[in-house]
Amino acid sequence: MGLVAVALSLMIRLFLVAVLLLMPLLVCPASGQARDLDDVRYLVIRRAGSPEKNYYELAKQVVIAGAPPSFVPLLDVITKEPDGIRYDVHSIWKVRVLRITDSQKDSVSPKDADYVLIYERDPDVRFCSIRYEVSSLPSGGRQIKYTDCEDKKQYSFEMTKQWPRPFVIYDVEVMDRDALHDVWQRQAKSHTFGQDRAK
Protein backbone atom coordinates (compact mmCIF):
# COMPACT_ATOMS: atom_id res chain seq x y z
CA MET A 1 0.00 0.00 0.00
CA GLY A 2 2.86 2.31 0.92
CA LEU A 3 4.55 1.77 -2.46
CA VAL A 4 1.29 2.46 -4.33
CA ALA A 5 0.82 5.74 -2.42
CA VAL A 6 4.40 6.82 -3.14
CA ALA A 7 4.05 5.92 -6.84
CA LEU A 8 0.74 7.81 -7.06
CA SER A 9 2.23 10.87 -5.34
CA LEU A 10 5.19 10.81 -7.74
CA MET A 11 2.89 10.58 -10.78
CA ILE A 12 0.82 13.56 -9.57
CA ARG A 13 3.99 15.62 -9.09
CA LEU A 14 5.27 14.73 -12.56
CA PHE A 15 1.89 15.68 -14.03
CA LEU A 16 1.95 19.08 -12.29
CA VAL A 17 5.50 19.74 -13.51
CA ALA A 18 4.45 18.88 -17.08
CA VAL A 19 1.45 21.24 -16.86
CA LEU A 20 3.65 24.06 -15.55
CA LEU A 21 6.15 23.53 -18.37
CA LEU A 22 3.37 23.58 -20.99
CA MET A 23 1.60 26.67 -19.59
CA PRO A 24 3.73 29.24 -21.50
CA LEU A 25 2.97 27.41 -24.76
CA LEU A 26 -0.73 27.42 -23.98
CA VAL A 27 -0.99 30.97 -22.61
CA CYS A 28 1.35 33.06 -24.79
CA PRO A 29 -0.49 32.75 -28.12
CA ALA A 30 -3.81 33.59 -26.47
CA SER A 31 -2.28 36.50 -24.56
CA GLY A 32 -0.57 37.80 -27.69
CA GLN A 33 -3.79 37.68 -29.69
CA ALA A 34 -5.73 39.52 -26.98
CA ARG A 35 -2.97 42.13 -26.72
CA ASP A 36 -3.07 42.71 -30.48
CA LEU A 37 -6.83 43.15 -30.48
CA ASP A 38 -6.57 45.63 -27.60
CA ASP A 39 -3.82 47.74 -29.23
CA VAL A 40 -6.04 50.68 -30.21
CA ARG A 41 -4.35 53.96 -31.15
CA TYR A 42 -5.04 57.31 -32.80
CA LEU A 43 -3.69 58.26 -36.23
CA VAL A 44 -3.26 62.04 -36.24
CA ILE A 45 -3.28 63.62 -39.72
CA ARG A 46 -2.22 67.13 -40.75
CA ARG A 47 -1.23 68.76 -44.05
CA ALA A 48 1.96 70.74 -44.48
CA GLY A 49 4.97 71.26 -46.73
CA SER A 50 5.46 72.44 -50.29
CA PRO A 51 4.07 70.75 -52.24
CA GLU A 52 1.48 70.09 -49.54
CA LYS A 53 0.93 66.52 -48.33
CA ASN A 54 -0.28 64.61 -45.28
CA TYR A 55 1.92 64.11 -42.22
CA TYR A 56 1.04 61.57 -39.57
CA GLU A 57 1.54 60.54 -35.96
CA LEU A 58 0.44 57.25 -34.38
CA ALA A 59 -0.28 57.88 -30.70
CA LYS A 60 -1.83 56.00 -27.80
CA GLN A 61 -3.53 59.13 -26.39
CA VAL A 62 -4.64 62.45 -27.88
CA VAL A 63 -5.89 65.69 -26.34
CA ILE A 64 -7.02 68.80 -28.22
CA ALA A 65 -4.97 71.79 -27.09
CA GLY A 66 -7.28 74.55 -25.84
CA ALA A 67 -10.37 72.82 -27.25
CA PRO A 68 -12.67 75.58 -28.63
CA PRO A 69 -16.35 75.72 -27.56
CA SER A 70 -17.43 75.07 -31.14
CA PHE A 71 -15.85 72.59 -33.55
CA VAL A 72 -13.45 74.00 -36.16
CA PRO A 73 -11.85 72.15 -39.12
CA LEU A 74 -8.22 72.54 -37.97
CA LEU A 75 -7.16 71.87 -34.38
CA ASP A 76 -3.88 71.58 -32.47
CA VAL A 77 -3.49 68.12 -30.91
CA ILE A 78 -1.24 67.01 -28.05
CA THR A 79 -0.13 63.38 -28.32
CA LYS A 80 1.05 60.95 -25.65
CA GLU A 81 3.22 57.92 -26.40
CA PRO A 82 4.91 59.48 -28.29
CA ASP A 83 4.77 62.88 -26.62
CA GLY A 84 4.42 65.87 -28.92
CA ILE A 85 2.09 68.43 -30.42
CA ARG A 86 0.73 68.49 -33.97
CA TYR A 87 -0.61 71.76 -35.37
CA ASP A 88 -3.52 72.23 -37.78
CA VAL A 89 -4.75 68.65 -37.55
CA HIS A 90 -7.63 68.02 -39.95
CA SER A 91 -8.37 64.36 -39.08
CA ILE A 92 -7.87 61.73 -36.43
CA TRP A 93 -8.56 58.08 -37.19
CA LYS A 94 -9.05 55.48 -34.51
CA VAL A 95 -7.13 52.36 -35.55
CA ARG A 96 -6.34 48.90 -34.22
CA VAL A 97 -2.78 47.63 -34.67
CA LEU A 98 -2.90 44.14 -36.19
CA ARG A 99 0.81 43.51 -36.79
CA ILE A 100 4.16 45.25 -36.40
CA THR A 101 7.06 44.62 -38.78
CA ASP A 102 9.81 46.69 -40.45
CA SER A 103 11.01 47.63 -43.92
CA GLN A 104 13.86 45.10 -43.84
CA LYS A 105 11.46 42.19 -43.38
CA ASP A 106 8.69 43.66 -45.56
CA SER A 107 10.18 46.11 -48.07
CA VAL A 108 7.04 45.92 -50.23
CA SER A 109 3.45 45.88 -48.99
CA PRO A 110 2.06 42.34 -49.37
CA LYS A 111 -1.42 43.63 -50.33
CA ASP A 112 -3.48 46.82 -50.37
CA ALA A 113 -4.34 47.68 -46.76
CA ASP A 114 -3.56 50.47 -44.26
CA TYR A 115 0.09 50.67 -43.21
CA VAL A 116 1.68 53.30 -40.96
CA LEU A 117 5.42 53.67 -41.66
CA ILE A 118 7.48 55.43 -39.00
CA TYR A 119 11.13 56.43 -39.10
CA GLU A 120 11.66 56.73 -35.36
CA ARG A 121 14.57 59.20 -35.51
CA ASP A 122 12.61 61.84 -37.44
CA PRO A 123 9.15 62.95 -36.24
CA ASP A 124 8.23 64.15 -39.75
CA VAL A 125 9.09 60.97 -41.66
CA ARG A 126 5.84 59.19 -40.77
CA PHE A 127 3.13 58.34 -43.24
CA CYS A 128 0.15 56.08 -43.81
CA SER A 129 -0.18 54.21 -47.07
CA ILE A 130 -2.41 51.69 -48.76
CA ARG A 131 0.66 50.36 -50.58
CA TYR A 132 4.40 51.06 -50.31
CA GLU A 133 7.82 50.03 -51.62
CA VAL A 134 11.20 50.67 -49.98
CA SER A 135 14.07 50.02 -52.43
CA SER A 136 17.86 50.44 -52.32
CA LEU A 137 19.68 52.98 -54.50
CA PRO A 138 23.19 52.59 -56.05
CA SER A 139 24.34 55.46 -53.79
CA GLY A 140 23.58 53.37 -50.70
CA GLY A 141 20.47 55.37 -49.91
CA ARG A 142 16.85 54.34 -50.29
CA GLN A 143 13.82 55.34 -52.31
CA ILE A 144 10.38 55.18 -50.72
CA LYS A 145 7.26 55.09 -52.89
CA TYR A 146 3.79 55.02 -51.39
CA THR A 147 0.11 55.76 -52.00
CA ASP A 148 -1.31 57.90 -49.21
CA CYS A 149 -4.16 56.22 -47.35
CA GLU A 150 -6.15 59.45 -46.92
CA ASP A 151 -5.84 61.41 -50.18
CA LYS A 152 -5.00 58.31 -52.32
CA LYS A 153 -2.20 60.19 -54.15
CA GLN A 154 1.17 58.66 -54.98
CA TYR A 155 4.33 60.08 -53.42
CA SER A 156 8.03 59.24 -53.41
CA PHE A 157 11.12 60.51 -51.63
CA GLU A 158 14.73 59.47 -51.06
CA MET A 159 16.78 58.99 -47.90
CA THR A 160 20.58 59.07 -47.93
CA LYS A 161 22.76 56.33 -46.49
CA GLN A 162 23.24 58.52 -43.39
CA TRP A 163 19.69 57.41 -42.44
CA PRO A 164 20.11 53.61 -42.59
CA ARG A 165 17.60 52.43 -39.97
CA PRO A 166 14.55 50.53 -41.17
CA PHE A 167 11.05 51.95 -40.96
CA VAL A 168 8.80 50.46 -38.30
CA ILE A 169 5.63 49.35 -40.08
CA TYR A 170 2.24 49.05 -38.38
CA ASP A 171 -0.42 47.07 -40.21
CA VAL A 172 -3.63 48.72 -38.94
CA GLU A 173 -7.38 48.33 -39.19
CA VAL A 174 -9.30 51.62 -39.36
CA MET A 175 -12.13 51.62 -36.81
CA ASP A 176 -13.30 55.25 -37.04
CA ARG A 177 -12.34 57.93 -39.57
CA ASP A 178 -14.05 60.75 -37.64
CA ALA A 179 -12.41 60.41 -34.23
CA LEU A 180 -11.28 64.07 -34.20
CA HIS A 181 -14.88 65.22 -33.80
CA ASP A 182 -15.49 62.58 -31.11
CA VAL A 183 -12.38 63.63 -29.14
CA TRP A 184 -13.43 67.31 -29.32
CA GLN A 185 -17.00 66.43 -28.26
CA ARG A 186 -15.81 64.46 -25.21
CA GLN A 187 -13.54 67.31 -24.12
CA ALA A 188 -16.26 69.91 -24.68
CA LYS A 189 -18.72 67.89 -22.58
CA SER A 190 -16.11 67.39 -19.85
CA HIS A 191 -15.37 71.14 -19.79
CA THR A 192 -19.09 72.02 -19.61
CA PHE A 193 -19.63 69.50 -16.82
CA GLY A 194 -16.72 71.00 -14.89
CA GLN A 195 -18.16 74.51 -15.24
CA ASP A 196 -21.59 73.34 -14.07
CA ARG A 197 -20.04 71.76 -10.98
CA ALA A 198 -18.08 74.94 -10.25
CA LYS A 199 -21.34 76.92 -10.16
Residue 50 is predicted with a pLDDT of: 87
Task: Report the C-alpha gap between 23 and 89 in whole angstroms.
Answer: 46
Q: Exposure pattern of 4-14 as b/e (b: 16+ CB <10 Å)?
A: eeeeeeeeeee
pLDDT along the chain (199 residues), means of 10: 54 44 34 57 94 95 87 91 95 97 96 97 94 96 97 96 95 95 85 43
pLDDT of res. 5 = 54
Q: Domain boundaries in the chain?
A: 40-198
CB-based contacts of 53: which residues, under 8 Å, 6+ apart? 47, 148, 151, 153, 155
At 46, which helix (H) or strand (E)?
strand 40-48
Q: Look at residue 195 in the predicted model and tell me its pLDDT.
A: 43
Full 3-state SS string of 95-136: EEEEEEEECCCCCECCCCCEEEEECCCCCCCEEEEEEEEEEE
Contact partners, residue 192, CB within 8 Å, separation at least 6: none
- Is the backbone of residue 88 left (phi > 0), alpha (psi -120 to 50) or beta? left
Residues, the chain: 199
